[in-house]
Structure 1
Amino acid sequence: MSATAPLRPLLSARSLRLAFGGVKAADGIDLDVMPGEFLAIIGPNGAGKTTFINMTTGYLRPQGGSIDYEGRSLLGLRPRAIVRRGIGRSFQLPQLFTEHTVLENAALAIAARAGLWSPLTPLLRPGWRAEAEALLDRFGLGAVAGARADALNEGARKLADIAMAVALNPRLLLMDEPTSGVAASEKMGVVETLVRVLRQAGVTAVFVEHDMDVVARFADRVAVWSQGRIVALGPPQQVLADPVVRREVIGIEAHA
């Protein structure tokens, strides 16, 4: 009987470096993201968390190091090319077309994936409409499909924004503070929905998060950023109990 082959990382970053003036946003970052996991990134403001997402998705280019996805380099690729490779992202502020309905937003993402939409193309043609409705139902947004995006509460806006990212059929999704601005009473429900949909779709997720209750409940692993470095990495129960992390990271977050 042959031994089982070791699981290979979906995303692998090595020795990433990027500085803005004298500020080191990435100071030798090494990180593997494994297929199927939910990896949380935590750390104080300015630690380099969003910089890592921006480098991975082509919005910033590192000054040194490598980022490989499925064994192939991402360096030098533009954001659209990286999306076509199977990496999606959501932003801290939802990127919705606020003058359009939620259904139209979902259909726009589907049309963009197909590369077929133009102002002269019917947006809600039957195929796109059916797929958009099914997608919104998965996110629990079917009841607000006909509402304008600017009429949604923040939790629904976050779900709609991530639904648009999922419409692009990513295998890896990077989310920058998916609960930012969401009412405390809605946070757990929003993340429960995200985790359920992404796991059912087989999507690996990396998410920046400031709510330690969310991290403890939903992350498979936690990476702690500080001054452009990863200072702790492991299961949430281990990392969040670390005295240094509790004092220098969680304590800072509590007063941020």
Structure 2
Amino acid sequence: MTTAQTRTMLSARGLMKSFGAVTAADNVNIEIPTGQRVSLIGSNGAGKTTFVNMVTGYLKPDAGTIELDCLPIAGLGPRRITGMGVARSFQIPQLALDMSALDNMLVAAACNDGHQSFWRPAHASDRIDRAMAMLSKFNLEEHAHRRVSELPGGVRKLLDIAMALTGSPKLLLLDEPTSGVSVDEKFPMMDTISAALASENITVLFVEHDMEIVTRYSDRVIAFYSGRVIADDLPSKVLEDAQVQRYVTGSLKQGH
């Protein structure tokens, strides 16, 4: 994995977010250097998804600041934040099932470039070459002309991440990349993702419930519980933390 650099890519200070009587973010403070691979862990409702939604503009914090590469982004909409260099893939891939993998890539590239029409500018030969190069990074070139509806779940996940990279983001957020993937496939899939990202100058945050994946592919782990960060350190240290074992990994072992 890429080692951390000194420059800060993402800075969150004093983030607060409540939904009625439920506090989803309680004075969250996180600094993430450029190039770091960070996993966010916590049981359902712990606050990790709320944090990701605030970073990506789907939620506006009640208080606090968020900076991307020293620029304030708290309260901006998803499209604006995407344009500033943040990309996201979802637990359920957001794909056009009746289109080919290549056409999905071309649509994503056209959207990231701000083109209104995908059919003309997005099909220029240089765009196709770039899309095929990205598919190749994820070992997906053999699927380029297959309809997405025919592709296995793991391949769809890789395609969704490849599409997120068409805009050359600074920060990539992955929502449970191995969810729904078989035990035999999860490590090869993460190896593919890691290899593809190794050549990209990109900072990665991923929400993950699989502690084997967290241990093997993270530079750092941030554990959430009840809207608060309860541990933030190297994977081995976080997973040995008493609060993490009580509130996170214990419940995860029971639920998975």
CA contact (8 A) 2:57 2:81 kept: yes
Task: Compare 119-128 and 193-202 and name the one that shifted more.
Answer: 119-128
Sequence identity (%): 43
Q: Equivalents in 2 of 1:23, 1:247: separation in Å?
A: 21
Q: Equivalents in 1 of 2:92, 2:103: separation in Å?
A: 19
Task: Compare 6-15 and 16-25 and name the one that shifted more.
Answer: 6-15
Task: Please state how far the C-alpha of 1:247 moved relative to its aligned partner.
Answer: 2.7
The answer to whether 1:100 aligns with 2:99 is yes
Task: Please state how far the C-alpha of 1:119 moved relative to its aligned partner.
Answer: 5.8
Amino acid at match of 2:20: G
Task: Please state how far the C-alpha of 1:117 moved relative to its aligned partner.
Answer: 4.0
Equivalent residues, number: 251
2:247: which partner in 1? Answer: 248
Q: Is the partner of 1:10 in helix, strand or coil?
A: strand
1:191: which partner in 2? Answer: 190
Q: Is the partner of 1:205 in helix, strand or coil?
A: strand
2:38: which partner in 1? Answer: 39
1:138-160 deviation per Cα after TM superposition (whole angstroms, max 9, x unaligned): 00000111111111111111100
Task: Please state how far the C-alpha of 1:120 moved relative to its aligned partner.
Answer: 5.4
1:88: which partner in 2? Answer: 87
Q: Structure 2 matches for 1:1-256, cutoff 5 A?
A: 7-118=6-117, 121=120, 123-256=122-255
Please report the RMSD computed on the Cα atoms of aligned residues, expressed in angstroms.
1.3
CA contact (8 A) 1:86 1:171 kept: yes
Could you say if the C-alpha distance between residues 116 and 178 of structure 1 is closer, same or farther in structure 2, counting changes exceeding 3 Å?
same
Q: Equivalents in 1 of 2:220, 2:113: separation in Å?
A: 34
TM-score, with length taken from structure 2: 0.94
Task: Please state how far the C-alpha of 1:255 moved relative to its aligned partner.
Answer: 1.8
- Structure 1 unmatched runs, 5+: 1-5
Task: Please state how far the C-alpha of 1:8 moved relative to its aligned partner.
Answer: 3.0
Q: Is the partner of 1:116 in helix, strand or coil?
A: coil
CA contact (8 A) 2:230 2:243 kept: no
Task: Please state how far the C-alpha of 1:116 moved relative to its aligned partner.
Answer: 2.0
Amino acid at match of 1:17: M
1:3: which partner in 2? Answer: none
Task: Please state how far the C-alpha of 1:199 moved relative to its aligned partner.
Answer: 2.1
Q: Equivalents in 1 of 2:89, 2:75: separation in Å?
A: 21
Q: Equivalents in 2 of 1:36, 1:48: separation in Å?
A: 23
Structure 1 segments of 4 or more deviating over 4 A? none
Q: Is the partner of 2:29 in helix, strand or coil?
A: strand
Q: Equivalents in 2 of 1:33, 1:224: separation in Å?
A: 14
Could you say if the C-alpha distance between residues 16 and 237 of structure 1 is closer, same or farther in structure 2, counting changes exceeding 3 Å?
same
Amino acid at match of 1:181: G
Task: Please state how far the C-alpha of 1:76 moved relative to its aligned partner.
Answer: 2.7
Q: Equivalents in 2 of 1:194, 1:119: separation in Å?
A: 27
Q: Equivalents in 2 of 1:67, 1:253: separation in Å?
A: 29
Q: Equivalents in 2 of 1:180, 1:52: separation in Å?
A: 19
Q: Is the partner of 2:123 in helix, strand or coil?
A: coil
CA contact (8 A) 1:198 1:204 kept: no
Q: Equivalents in 1 of 2:223, 2:97: separation in Å?
A: 34
Amino acid at match of 1:178: P
Task: Please state how far the C-alpha of 1:49 moved relative to its aligned partner.
Answer: 0.9
TM-score, with length taken from structure 1: 0.94
Amino acid at match of 2:82: V
